[in-house]
Amino acid sequence: MRFSKEVAIITGAASGIGQAVAIQLASEGAYVVLVDLNSCEKTIQQLNGADYLECLGDIRDKEFVQATVARTIEKFGEVHILVNNAGTCSRLDLEDMTLDQWDRDMDTNLKATFLFSQACVYPHMKDAGYGRIVNISSISGINGGVVSGGEKNGRSGPAYSASKGGVIALTRWVAKEVGKYGITCNSVAPGAVLTGITAGVAYDTSAQVIDRMGEPNDIAEAVLYFANRKAGYATSQVLKVDGGYSIG
């Protein structure tokens, strides 16, 4: 039970990667705070009786973020792990990208990561002298967008790629800032994974070393490595979990 009685906040916990992370953490003893805009009932049904807190709202809203962390502290007394997972992905190209779409991706993927990191570190993780922050970025934040086909437009759009690149840069900045408090900050960069974001998108995985789409549990396993206490010497890292897509 690597996470016995540890408290973990997971954004985007209603489905996909966030759901898988929450279920795996709970299965290893963690108390999970499920954050999403949508009901987390399907996740809750798979927690097998583990203690949880559901917080529904807009993670781009600073007041909601602060209220979520305050509710976490009120119920559990502390917070050990933060997984910034929730995200949106527009697939418009540069010519067609609207300001509303740009702001949606940037605010959901990057601004919310900043808001939750700030609210968890100060004062809670700092005062405790311990914390694990894991940010979900993307291969698109490294290579400028994964090419795809299917019923949706080509590759992930410029706002998504820019926001995920920003998550990587923020991860490294925060890691340098919070290490002195016993806090690590790392990122997992998935490739093509079977989630709601990739529904209707076709990826050619034949050139990958592992010829298949990723599954949420593939990413959750990487998250749990960075989230556990024994990973205290790993920080500022970006772990690609992409089936070997980025090798060649």
**Could you give the residue numbers annotated as active site?**
160
Strands (E), the chain: 7-11, 31-36, 52-56, 81-84, 131-136, 149-150, 183-190, 201-202, 238-241
Q: With contact defined as beta carbons under 8 Å apart, do 208 and 147 qualify?
A: no
Helix (H, G, I), strand (E, B) or coil at 41: helix
- Whole-number Cα distances in Å, 104 to 69, 101, 117, 159, 163: 22, 5, 19, 9, 10
Q: Distance from CA of residue 50 to its chain's centroid?
A: 21
Q: With contact defined as beta carbons under 8 Å apart, do 19 and 43 qualify?
A: yes
Give the residue among 54, 105, 73, 64 at the shortest CA–CA distance from 7. Answer: 73
Q: How far apart are CA 243 and CA 246, in angstroms?
A: 8
Cα-only R_g, the chain = 17
